[in-house]
Every structure is written in C-alpha cells, then in structure tokens.
Amino acid sequence: MQVREALKKRKSTRAFLSRDVEREKIVRILDAARHAPSGTNTQPWQVAVVRGEKKRELQGLMETAFRGGEKGKMDYQYYPVDWQPPYKERRKACGLQLYSTLQISREDKQRQMDQWAANYRAFDAPVALFFFMDGIMETGSFLDYGMFLQSLMLSAVEEGLAVCPQAALGEYPKIVKPFLGYPDDTVLLCGISLGYEDPDALVNSYRTPREEVESFTRFFD
C-alpha cells in the first residue's frame, strides 16, 4: 500500500467488529511508528495497550464518571477557549454530520448522551491505546507526538485495521493514570480505538470533508 493511499483510506471509525486484534499486528504497528521523527531524538512517546478485562474495567470507570455528571478535564488545553471562524463552523458541521447520519435529533438528549458515552468505551473496539509523556516535556514534544500518532495510524491501515483518534480518551487522567500505573505527573495526551471496522455500521458510512490545497497554501517563488 502506498503512503498516499493509506492517508486517504484512514478515517475515524466508530463501530468495530468483535474480532480480536492479533498481538503481532499491534507490535508491528508500534515497531513502524517508533521511526517517527522527534526533536533531538527525544522519542517522548509512552504507549499503553489496553485489551480484554482491563479494557472493560477501565472503560466502565470512565463511562460511569461521564454518566454521573463528572466533567472530564484533560492534562492540557486541547481546544480553543473562544471558538472563532472558520474553526467554529467546521466543528459544528462535524458534529451535525455525525448526528444526522445516525438520525439523532437535537431534542433527543438521551441518544446524544449514549452516543457520546461510546467515546469512553473506545467505541467498543477490542483495543484502546493510551498515549503518555513525561510532564517535563514541552510544546515541541506535542509536535513529535503528532507525527508518531499519524505514523501509527497509517501503519494500522496497512495492516487492514481501523482507528479512531480520540481526545475523549484523555479526558479522565485522574482515572486512567492510577488504573494503569502511570505517575500523576505524566501527561495523558489522548487515545486511539483500534480494531477491525464494522462495514455495515451506519456510523461508518460517512466521511468528513477536507479543504482544498488552494485554501490553505501560499506559494512564494
């Protein structure tokens, strides 16, 4: 598979088959991703692969917290505090596309909650990956981590797997870190759902649009 093909094939998958992901595939994906670049070769990534009973226990704790009204708080500020155009409109369109595909109305608060709660179960994928780094690392390491995550996801696509990168899996660090044995001063960045896509699931039937190259690029010759 060519890199260009993998880039276009990758999408945020929100429904997975119950089929287990082979440990060997997970290792191959991580083995490929570890070659991602990082400033001065710091390699800040620390990865927790959570499956089976451990996953069921952890997702249960997060979903219970969410449904109980406990608002999650990430270790860092992911989104703008004050949304401005064009990002505000893109964000709104993304949510509307999901809910309209699933025919969840604005008034149906229960179905909205149920759909959002699925985030904390990693959309019932067989594998949830959690990504940490030491708290002493600074902004540059977030850039490095982004390259690592994209490398991991493209490698997963090459293996015939589906992914969903999720900020939501980083919303309850006070639950995740002690459960997995990571120190409190580490940073929980995010998570990725990993598994085999359910091709018949309605939620997997749409793709979010991307801006054309001309809209974000300036050439200086």
18-59: per-residue pLDDT in tens? 999 999 999 999 999 999 999 999 999 999 999 999 999 999
> What CATH topology corresponds to 3-205?
NADH Oxidase (3.40.109)
pTM of this structure: 0.96
Mean local confidence (pLDDT), 185-211: 97
Question: What residues contact 115, with CB distance under 8 A and at least 6 apart?
Answer: 98, 99, 102, 104
Rg (CA), the chain: 18
Amino acid identity of 10? Answer: R
The rounded distance, in Å, linking the Cα atoms of 10 and 194 is 12
Under 8 Å between Cβ of 213 and 148: no
- Which CA distances in Å does 68 have to 64, 71, 113, 128? 6, 9, 11, 22
The mean pLDDT of 161-187, rounded to a whole number, is 98
Neighbours of 175 (CB within 10 A): 18
How many percent of the chain have pLDDT more than 70?
100
What confidence score (pLDDT) does residue 143 get?
98
User: Rounded CA gap, 52 and 34, in Å?
Assistant: 25
